[in-house]
């Protein structure tokens, strides 16, 4: 049998509260608007597209077929990420500007 000091009850209660607070939602969390999310997504897509264009444009300089294949895969991966950024930008813009929710609608 393990004997615990008398303060262990207070310590375990503190640990319990600390653990519980880690999983509960805080009221001081930061929120990002849909328009800002769309802007971040467009920037992300532009950076990814830049890497993809660089990858595709460097394919002519590679002599080894294995390296060329790897570079092509690299470029397509960044193209995919750019597409994901565009999709998230469009979804965020769509959430920020609903068609039926305006005054004109």
Query: 78 near 51, Cβ under 8 Å?
Result: yes
In a domain, 92, yes or no: yes
In a domain, 1, yes or no: no
CA distances, 98 to each of 34, 47, 104 (Å): 11, 28, 12
Q: Which of 28, 45, 39 is nearest to 96 (CA)?
A: 39
pLDDT tens column, 48-66: 999 999 999 998 888 999 9
- Residue 69 belongs to domain spanning: 30-96
Q: Which of 42, 36, 55, 53 is nearest to 86 (CA)?
A: 42
What is the separation of C-alpha 69 from the centre of its chain, rounded to a whole number of angstroms?
28
In a domain, 68, yes or no: yes
16 versus 49: which is more confidently predicted?
Answer: 49
Number of domains making up the chain = 1
pTM summary value:
0.64
């Amino acid at each position: 049998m393990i004997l615990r000091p008398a303060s262990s009850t207070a310590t375990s209660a503190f640990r319990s509260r600390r653990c519980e607070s880690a999983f509960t939602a805080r009221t001081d969390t930061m929120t990002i608007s849909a328009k800002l999310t769309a802007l971040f997504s467009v920037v992300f897509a532009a950076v990814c597209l830049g890497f993809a264009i660089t990858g595709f444009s460097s394919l002519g300089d590679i002599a080894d077929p294995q390296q060329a294949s790897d570079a092509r895969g690299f470029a397509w991966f960044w193209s995919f990420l750019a597409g994901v950024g565009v999709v998230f930008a469009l979804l965020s813009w769509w959430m920020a500007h609903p068609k039926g929710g305006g005054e004109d609608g």
